[in-house]
Structure 1
Amino acid sequence: MTVLLREAIGDRLRHARTNQRRTLREVSRTARVSLGYLSEVERGRKEASSELLAAICDALELPLSELLHHVASDIGAVQQTPDTVPDTVPDGRSDRGKLEGGRVLPSTLSDDLSDLRLQPMLSHRLTSKIGETPKAVVAA
């Protein structure tokens, strides 16, 4: 399955907006982008320019770098082939043979992708949200 960059970006923008419980109208006003155009970008029908993406990200208070990082992760997760999937996951369980949508996918991915078009490709629902900092242990 090929995922277009504009579709992955649109999915992430919609995900960020709906997580904030904001309407298209509200974000379009803040970003100074027409409501119809923002809707087309979210649906992956229009390829947004870098200036437009920056304005939308500013309106959503989402760093552009964070958006692009998550989009790259989403696309990478969908495009993995059986040769690139690890044999085991961190808890030691075998990950081979888990077919979802015709591809073998790892069981460990980041961010809540449950409402994205990419969701059928994932092996399970994820619980973290965009912008949520992973909890880390620092040992001195």
Structure 2
Amino acid sequence: MTVLLREAIGDRLRHTRTTQHRTLREVSRSARVSLGYLSEVERGRKEASSELLAAICDALDLPMADLLHTVASDMSALAAVANAPTADDAVKSREHADAPYEGGRLLSESVGDKLSDIRLQPVLTHRLPTLTPPRGEVVVAA
């Protein structure tokens, strides 16, 4: 699943605002942005211009550099999870290996049933697919 930049920025802005216990109305007044437009930006429906983003960041007392750095970290963590090898990939590569394989079935490190198993910023975790181990398999963390 691909996450768009505007969605990641919107998620992070909403998270910052709600963490500060502020309403959309408060932030929209402070940033001099319409409430409806701010809502659209937070939901990832509208692409904020750099000027608008600067005004929203100022209203939230959030340096824009921090916002962009955090969004980049969120997106790169999501990309790493999306591109992580699966248990099936490990089995296929083992089948083609020259040396024989002994022991149990190899599982990827990302197998788990909780998103907390993946060290990820809390904002975009709802965009991750549910990761569950195959039935009948034992997962051993290294």
TM-score by length of 2: 0.66
* CA distance in structure 1 between the aligned counterparts of 2:13 and 2:110, rounded to whole angstroms: 32
Higher-helix-fraction structure: 2
**Does the 8 Å contact 2:74/2:124 carry over to 1?**
no
1:107 counterpart letter in structure 2 = I
Which structure has the larger Rg? 2
Residue 118 in structure 1 maps to residue 129 in structure 2: no
CA 1:118–1:33: 2 relative to 1, 3 Å: same
Match of 1:96 in 2: 109
How many residues are treated as equivalent by the alignment? 107
**Does the 8 Å contact 1:95/1:106 carry over to 2?**
no
Unpaired runs of 5+ residues, structure 2, are: 86-106, 131-142
CA 1:29–1:2: 2 relative to 1, 3 Å: same
Identity %: 64
CA 1:96–1:59: 2 relative to 1, 3 Å: same
Unpaired runs of 5+ residues, structure 1, are: 84-93, 124-140
**Does the 8 Å contact 1:11/1:42 carry over to 2?**
yes
Structure 1 stretch displaced more, 72-81 or 25-34: 72-81
1:16 counterpart letter in structure 2 = T
2:20 counterpart letter in structure 1 = Q
**Does the 8 Å contact 1:28/1:34 carry over to 2?**
yes
Match of 1:82 in 2: 84
TM-score by length of 1: 0.67
The structure, 1 or 2, with the larger RCO (C-alpha pairs under 8 Å, 6+ apart) is: 2
CA RMSD of aligned residues (A): 2.8
